Amino acid sequence: MDKNRLEAFSDGVIAIIITIMVLELKVPHGTELADLRPLIPVFLSYVLSFIYVGIYWHNHHHLLHTIDHVTGGVLWANLHLLFWLSLIPFTTGWMGENHFSSVPLALYGFVLLMCAFAWWILQTCMVRTQGRTSALAQAVGRDFKGKISPVFYLVGIVSAFFNEYFSEAVYVLAALMWLVPDRRFEKATHEG
């Protein structure tokens, strides 16, 4: 199958995910700035999730530019990733509506953990399809960020039950780590 079709489908699903998330931001019924105050937790959870979905979209784009074709296994692995990404709007809304309380915060981290796991499966499947000497395999390399991210999410999940602020900080730190440009895939495909 042509990889462009997979990329177009994935881009469409990710665009819908972002659209669903923004719909959680309800317009206040007042006209004063103070009427926005109850929306702050919902807005902050939206911003964090928008960044996470954007990171996955960005990396997915670069990942697909390192391969020549897709197989049935890659298609299923990609759908698995999209499934977990599609749960981000639900956990984002629940977390924001409940002011980052323990259980919604832990569930949010669990979904992030499963997204990371699904990403690893997709990446592994693609490397297997393309071969150990492919541009993709070279770009993945040791994949430090990919290996440390699940640790962040596990720490965030556990700490949600002891200190919500620490848990939130862990999720933000993991996102910030991924915001630092990772040029491995760009170098592998000479995209610059």
The pLDDT tens digits for 127-145 are 898 888 887 787 777 788 8
Does residue 187 carry a pLDDT above 60?
yes
CA–CA separation, 79 and 60 (whole Å): 12
pLDDT at 192: 44
Q: Which of 105, 111, 120, 109 is nearest to 87 (CA)?
A: 111
Q: Does residue 139 or residue 175 have the better pLDDT? A: 175
**In this predicted model, what pLDDT tens digit does every residue of 48-104 receive, in sequence order?**
999 999 999 999 998 888 888 899 999 999 999 999 999 999 999 999 999 899 999
Number of domains present in the structure of the chain: 1
pLDDT at 141: 76
Phi-psi region of 123 (alpha: psi -120 to 50; beta: other; left: phi over 0): alpha
pLDDT at 142: 76
Q: Which of 180, 189, 152 is nearest to 55 (CA)?
A: 180
Does residue 46 carry a pLDDT above 50?
yes
Structural domain span for residue 110: 3-189
Q: Is the pTM of this model over 0.85?
A: yes
Categorize the per-residue pLDDT at 185 as very low, low, confident or very high, splitting at 50, 70 and 90.
low
